[in-house]
């Protein structure tokens, strides 16, 4: 007998100007991993927030274990055994990991907060699933991949029956994804049920038992993983054929754009993060920086664009010294930066999308004349970009914070691609994007290269590195462990290098 | 094992490095006080007692501010809360002749003001600075309008010496011979610290002040936490008001808070949003004020009094410059929480 643990019927949720969920119905069976696919802005997160009690649906009904329920708030949801790992983490940055995990489900000892017995229980979960995490670290000091684990432990600690994972793999390394899948499988073996949202079709086919596809707020189809392939899923999702393979000409490197010599970068605690790194990028080539998250790539990028100071070494852009130049200086030298954390860096969330589109050019003509903002110009520019890059929003005057996960990314991509540049430093440029948008961004990157731009792509997505790069630099432990031509190496070999194995 | 020891040593060194300014000032002060006590015990004791008196309303005001701000609501209406509570406490005492009624009504009035601020900033999502300003103007208007000249309440609240403790040299008179609201203040510092850092409520309060959405997603009622905290904080400000009219002065005067509510905000920030920090900062302010009075009064120094009156502020600047360490306000303070934002 199939046992439906969660069912939603005709859920509709409207935001000003958009219908995010348009009469959506679907069922989750016990012990099932149910993948939810859909373009950026299709309404996946909204639906999950409705189920979790964060949003009130305008219409529709939720059933849990075949009983009609009303989930008023997350408290109700947790009480009914629903747990959710949000697309954008819900962790208090200044709390320790332990505090974040117990928050909301605290145990007390008389009037005092008791952290000792939860610590033991949590340690058990950590050991059981091999999660390896220090409970006393301040959460904001952790890399995103580890923060993800904190979120999962949070849910496990609450002993959920239904677990919602909203794009958990977007920020994970392949190894971490494998670990996550192991955890998911053992949860399902214990009779729990999982809703799994992702844009990576490969993952869907690998792990899902059932697939539901949403487009523009409506369910447009469902499939079984053994009957579907990536191509058909992509088509169903986007509503047109997607070319999953990138076609590009051979690179024709020209003059030197970026020169990095013996760069050393330390973090706030004095640990060496980038260790004597030298490389160069020429106009007309794409250099991919591969590496497992946390091997110095983040710090390398941040130092190049002036967000953190360097310890020693030199950086030159277009032959001009740019060591420790301010971000504005670096921008004005003709470089563009797509930051790794799209919510923290590079944008002001309470501002409108339009203002964010000119965040690094607002003081220049035509957006400002003699220090006065030119509203019309800004708006026109933004509306044009929103259109071109297919940022899904009812208006460019909406706040940036109202965008869906992937559309945050598209907004920043749109801004950086729309300026005359000769150096593009892109960290995780397609993180959280749907296949259609990835295709679009990849084409833009290659277009920039062919226009004579030097491109540096940092990605934890090995496939992305392999497809885009002309040359690949592999970082390990803060050092460049090898530099190779992309057409002379296999994915497996790069994988080995990323693990620190040299031939 | 050695590793752990090393770690602890490191932590200790780091702590020293970060806080050297605090410790230096503290040690210098203690040395100076001991030296003076040796030379002139009477005056030294008087100055220290006056320091405690000056600091009490500041500590209470700062506690009020930080309870609110830790849960994400900036309260610049402390001045108003204190003023109107001072008034209520005094009027009640003058009419009933019962000081306890007076204190209770002072506290209740403060709580009501906290409730008003909560409605404005949580339910109506009014800008919190404006909400606080409303409180200040409201309090000034109401108290000035209903103020009656010539009303008196009889004896103000008297100190209660704590037996033998009060006879200790130096600290006896200063710490253990105080009126009840002052004792309560000492206790409140510990209580608020305990609640904030060692209870479930405190953990939730801090979460709500840093990242309300994260708290919401684990089932914490953001609005409830903020309401309750603002009301309790209002009660603390009410106690400060009662202190001013019933314990410090023994009557009510127009605008008698005289900016203490705002100084309390500065004290809260110096104290980095922690109760003990606020206590230390308030004592420092209190000490400077006491010194200023003492120097002006004794006429020992031949300096125009305007300069001497600068002392508290000068000291503030010096200490502030030494405290260059990182101090950051709760991340969500000042931002109304929108459930579907
Ligand atoms: N709080 C909000 N206010 C206004 N509009 C919103 C809000 N949240 C989402 N939307 C809109 O609702 C639509 C659906 O957003 P949702 O976040 O559900 O997309 P998604 O499927 O999760 O996309 P992604 O894959 O990019 O995360 C989008 O058009 C988005 O702009
Ligand atoms: Mg989403």
Mean pLDDT of A93-113: 92
Average of pLDDT values for B246-267?
Answer: 90
User: How large is the average pLDDT for residues A92-119?
Assistant: 92
DSSP A100-117: HHHTTS-EEETTEEE-HH
Please report, for residues A115, B32, B46, B168, the alpha-carbon distance to residue B174 in angstroms, rounded to integers and kept in the order given. Answer: 38, 16, 8, 10
The rounded mean pLDDT for chain A is 90
Total domains in chain B come to 1
H or E, element range at A458: strand A454-458
Would you state the pLDDT for residue A210?
93
pLDDT over 80 (residue B9): no
The dihedral region occupied by B5, where left means phi > 0, alpha psi between -120 and 50, and beta the remainder, is alpha
SS3 A167: coil
Q: What is the pLDDT of residue A159?
A: 87
- Does residue B50 lie in a domain region? no
Q: Are strands A33-38 and A193-197 parallel, antiparallel or unpaired?
A: parallel
Closest Cβ opposite residue B211 in set A15, A56, A92: A92
Query: Span A256-334+420-498: which CATH code?
Result: 3.40.50.300
The secondary structure of A37-95 as a DSSP string is EE-TTSSHHHHHHHHTTSS--SEEEEEETTEEE---SHHHHHHTTEEEE-SS----TTS
pLDDT at res. A299 = 92
Sheet holding A454-458, edge to edge: A335-338, A423-427, A454-458, A286-290, A471-476, A479-485
Among residues A151, A8, A27, A10, the alpha carbon closest in space to that of A90 is found at A151
In the reported structure, the alpha carbon of residue A351 is separated from the centroid of ligand 1 by a whole-number distance in angstroms of: 17
**Res. A503 pLDDT band, cuts 50 70 90:** low
Pocket of ligand 1 (CB under 6 A): A 15, 18, 20, 38, 40-46, 87, 392-393, 402-407; B 340-341
CA A438 to chain centre: 12
Return d(Cα A83, Cα B17) in angstroms, integer.
Answer: 43
CA–centroid distance, A396 to ligand 1, in Å, is 14
Among A169-178, A461-470, B301-310, the range of highest mean pLDDT: A461-470
Confidence of residue B2 (pLDDT cuts 50, 70, 90): very low
Average pLDDT, integer, range A386-410: 90
User: What is the distance between the alpha carbons of residues A177 and A467, in angstroms, rounded to a whole number?
Assistant: 20
pLDDT beyond 60 at B7: no
| Average pLDDT estimate for A63-81 | 92
Distance of CA B160 to the CA centre of its chain: 22
Cβ A125 vs Cβ A164: under 8 Å: no
Can you give the pLDDT at residue B127? 92
Q: Give B-chain residues touching A103 at CB under 8 angstroms.
A: 203-204, 207, 214-215, 218, 220
Range in A98-102, A243-247, A333-337, B68-72 with the lowest mean pLDDT: A243-247
* Residue B97 structural domain: 57-261
For residue A232, how many other CB atoms are within 10 A of its CB?
A: 13
**Top-confidence residue, A316 or B334:** A316
Question: What's the confidence (pLDDT) of residue B202?
Answer: 96
Please say whether the beta carbons of B243 and B157 come within 8 A. no
Please state the rounded mean pLDDT for residues A225-240: 87
* Contact between B106 and B242 (Cβ < 8 Å): yes
- What's the pLDDT at B65? 97
Q: Per the domain annotation, does B83 fall within a domain?
A: yes
- Per-residue pLDDT band for B1 (boundaries 50, 70, 90) equals very low
> Which pLDDT value is given to residue B17?
75
pLDDT (mean) for B184-199: 96
Residue of B nearest to A109 (CA): B199
Domain residue limits, chain A: 4-238, 256-334+420-498, 345-404
pLDDT tier for residue B110 given thresholds of 50, 70 and 90: very high
pLDDT at B226: 97
ipTM value of the model?
Answer: 0.86
Pick the CATH number of A4-238 from 3.90.1150.10, 3.40.1390.10, 1.10.10.60, 3.40.50.300: 3.40.50.300
CA-to-CA separations, A178 to A150, B161, B227, in angstroms, rounded: 17, 69, 45
Q: Is residue B238 part of a domain?
A: yes
Collapsing DSSP states into helix, strand and coil, what is residue A361?
coil
Per-residue pLDDT tens digits for A376-388: 999 999 999 999 9
Q: Same CATH fold, A256-334+420-498 and A4-238? A: yes
Digit-coded pLDDT (tens) for A259-311: 999 999 998 778 899 999 999 999 999 999 998 878 899 999 999 999 999 99
Average pLDDT, chain B: 87
Query: A95 and B206 in contact by Cβ < 8 A?
Result: yes
| Lowest mean per-residue pLDDT among A241-250, B121-130, B258-267 | A241-250
User: pLDDT per residue over A11-41, tens digit each?
Assistant: 999 998 889 999 999 999 999 999 999 998 8
Distance in angstroms (rounded) separating the CA atoms of residues B118 and B107: 16
Asked if the C-beta of A105 comes within 8 angstroms of chain B's C-beta atoms, the answer is yes
| Cβ proximity of A256 and A280 under 8 Å | yes
Number of residues assigned to chain B: 341
Give, as one character, the DSSP assignment of residue B336. -
Does B89 or A179 have the greater pLDDT score? B89
- Our mutation pick for probing the ligand 1 site, out of A389, A404, A432, A438, counting the most ligand atoms within 8 A of Cβ, is A404
Of B104, B155, B144, B341, give the one whose Cα is nearest residue B253. B144
Give, to the nearest 10 degrees, the angle between helix A144-157 and helix A174-189: 10
Whether B300 shows a pLDDT value over 70: the answer reads no
Whether chain B has a CB inside 8 Å of the CB on A93: the answer is yes
Strands A256-266 and A312-317: antiparallel
Q: Tell me how far the alpha carbon of residue A198 lies from the centroid of ligand 2, in angstroms.
A: 9
CA A103 to chain B, closest CA, distance in angstroms equals 7
CA B275 to chain centre: 9
Q: Considering all CA atoms of chain A, what is the largest pairwise distance in Å, rounded to the nearest integer? A: 73
By the 8 A CB rule, do A382 and A353 touch? yes
Q: What is the mean pLDDT of residues B289-303?
A: 76
Q: Identify each DSSP E strand in A375-447 by its residue range.
A: 423-427
Chain B's closest residue to A111, CA to CA, is B199
By C-alpha distance, which of B257, B8, B3, B199 is closest to A108?
B199
Is residue B4 scored above 50 in pLDDT? Answer: no
What's phi and psi for B9, nearest 5 deg? -55, -45
Q: What share of chain A in percent tops pLDDT 90?
A: 61
- For ligand 1, mutation pick of A19, A41, A87, A392 (most atoms within 8 Å of CB): A41
For chain A positions 445-474, those within 8 Å of chain B (CB to CB) are none
Split at pLDDT 50, 70, 90, the class of B206 is: very high
Give chain A's length: 503
Token pair for residue B219? 């089932």
Tell me, in angstroms, the distance from the centre of ligand 1 to residue A20's CA.
6
Residue B115 domain flag: yes
Stretch A423-450: mean pLDDT, rounded? 90
Residue A389: strand, helix, or coil? coil
Q: Identify residues whose C-beta is under 5 A from ligand 2, the ion.
A: A 45, 87, 404-405
Lowest mean pLDDT, pick from A141-150, A158-167, B76-85, B106-115: A141-150
Please give the average per-residue pLDDT across B271-284, as a whole number.
91
Q: Which two tokens stand for residue B3?
A: 């590793």
Task: Provide Rg for chain A, Cα atoms.
Answer: 23
Which range, A200-204, B3-7, B134-138, has the best average confidence (pLDDT)? B134-138
């Amino acid at each position: 007998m199939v046992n439906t643990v969660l069912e939603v019927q005709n859920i509709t949720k409207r935001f000003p100007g958009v219908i995010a969920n348009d009469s959506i119905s679907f069922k989750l069976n016990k012990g099932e991993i149910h993948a939810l696919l859909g373009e950026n802005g299709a309404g996946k997160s909204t639906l999950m927030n409705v189920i979790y009690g964060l949003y009130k649906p305008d219409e529709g009904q939720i059933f849990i274990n075949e009983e009609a329920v009303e989930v008023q708030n997350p408290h109700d949801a947790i009480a009914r055994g629903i747990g959710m790992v949000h697309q954008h983490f819900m962790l208090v940055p200044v709390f320790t990991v332990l505090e974040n995990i117990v928050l909301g489900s605290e145990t007390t000892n008389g009037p005092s907060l008791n952290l000792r017995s939860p610590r033991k229980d949590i340690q058990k979960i950590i050991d059981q699933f091999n999660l390896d995490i220090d409970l006393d670290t301040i959460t904001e000091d952790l890399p995103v991949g580890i923060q993800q684990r904190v979120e999962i432990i949070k849910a496990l600690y609450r002993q959920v029956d239904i677990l919602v994972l909203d794009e958990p793999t977007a920020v994970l390394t392949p190894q971490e994804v494998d670990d996550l899948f192991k955890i998911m499988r053992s949860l399902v073996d214990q009779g729990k049920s999982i809703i799994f949202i992702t844009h990576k079709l490969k993952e869907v086919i690998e792990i899902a038992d059932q697939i539901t596809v949403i487009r523009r707020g409506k369910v447009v189809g469902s499939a079984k993983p053994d009957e579907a392939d990536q191509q058909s899923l992509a088509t169903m999702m986007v509503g047109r054929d997607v070319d999953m393979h990138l076609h590009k000409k051979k690179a024709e490197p020209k003059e030197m754009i970026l020169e990095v010599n013996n760069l050393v970068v330390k973090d706030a605690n004095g640990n060496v993060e980038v260790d004597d790194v030298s490389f160069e990028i020429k106009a007309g080539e794409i250099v991919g920086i591969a590496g497992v998250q946390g091997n110095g790539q983040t710090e390398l990028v941040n130092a190049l664009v002036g967000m953190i100071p360097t310890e020693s070494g030199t950086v030159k852009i277009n032959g001009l010294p740019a060591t420790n130049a301010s971000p504005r200086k670096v921008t004005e030298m003709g470089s563009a930066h797509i930051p790794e954390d799209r919510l923290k860096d590079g944008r002001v969330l309470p501002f409108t999308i339009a203002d964010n589109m000119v965040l690094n050019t607002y003081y220049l003509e035509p957006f400002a004349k003699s220090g006065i903002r030119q509203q019309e110009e800004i708006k026109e520019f933004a509306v044009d970009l929103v259109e071109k890059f297919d940022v899904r929003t009812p208006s460019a005057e909406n706040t940036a914070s109202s965008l869906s996960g992937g559309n945050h990314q598209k907004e920043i991509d749109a801004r950086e691609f729309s300026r005359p540049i000769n150096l593009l430093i892109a960290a995780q440029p397609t993180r959280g994007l749907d296949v259609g948008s990835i295709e679009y961004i990849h084409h833009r990157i290659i277009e920039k290269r062919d226009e004579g731009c030097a491109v540096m792509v940092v990605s934890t997505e090995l496939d992305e590195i392999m497809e885009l790069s002309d040359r690949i630099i592999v970082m390990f432990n803060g050092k460049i462990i090898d530099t190779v031509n992309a057409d002379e190496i296999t994915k497996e070999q790069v994988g080995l290098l990323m693990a620190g194995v040299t031939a | 094992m050695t590793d752990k020891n090393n770690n602890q040593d490191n932590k200790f060194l780091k702590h020293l490095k970060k806080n050297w300014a605090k410790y230096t000032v503290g040690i210098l002060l203690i040395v100076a006080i001991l030296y003076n006590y040796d030379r002139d015990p009477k005056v030294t004791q008087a100055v220290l007692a006056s320091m405690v008196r000056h600091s009490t309303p500041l500590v209470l005001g700062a506690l009020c501010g930080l309870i609110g701000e830790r849960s994400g609501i900036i309260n610049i209406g402390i001045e108003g809360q204190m003023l109107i509570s001072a008034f209520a406490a005094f009027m009640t005492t003058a009419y009933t002749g019962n000081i306890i009624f007076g204190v209770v009504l002072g506290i209740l009035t403060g709580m009501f003001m906290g409730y008003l601020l909560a409605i404005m900033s949580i339910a109506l999502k009014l800008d919190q600075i404006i909400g606080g300003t409303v409180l200040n103007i409201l309090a000034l208007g109401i108290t000035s309008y209903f103020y009656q000249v010539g009303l008196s309440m009889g004896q103000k609240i008297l100190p209660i010496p704590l037996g033998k403790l009060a006879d200790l040299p130096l600290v006896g008179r200063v710490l253990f011979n105080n009126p009840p609201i002052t004792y309560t203040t000492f206790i409140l510092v510990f209580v608020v610290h305990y609640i904030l850092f060692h209870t479930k409520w405190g953990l939730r309060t801090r979460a709500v002040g840093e990242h309300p959405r994260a708290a919401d997603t684990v089932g914490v009622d953001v609005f409830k936490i903020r309401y309750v905290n603002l009301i309790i904080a209002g009660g603390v400000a009410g106690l400060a008001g009662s202190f001013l009219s019933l314990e410090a002065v023994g009557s009510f005067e127009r605008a008698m808070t005289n900016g203490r509510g705002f100084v309390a905000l500065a004290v809260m920030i110096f104290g980095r949003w922690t109760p003990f920090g606020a206590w230390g900062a308030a004592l420092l302010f209190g000490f400077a004020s006491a010194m200023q009075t003492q120097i002006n009064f004794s006429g020992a120094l031949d300096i125009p009094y305007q300069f001497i009156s600068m002392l508290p502020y000068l000291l503030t600047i010096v200490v502030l410059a030494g405290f260059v360490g990182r101090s950051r306000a709760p991340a969500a303070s000042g931002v109304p929480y929108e459930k579907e934002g």
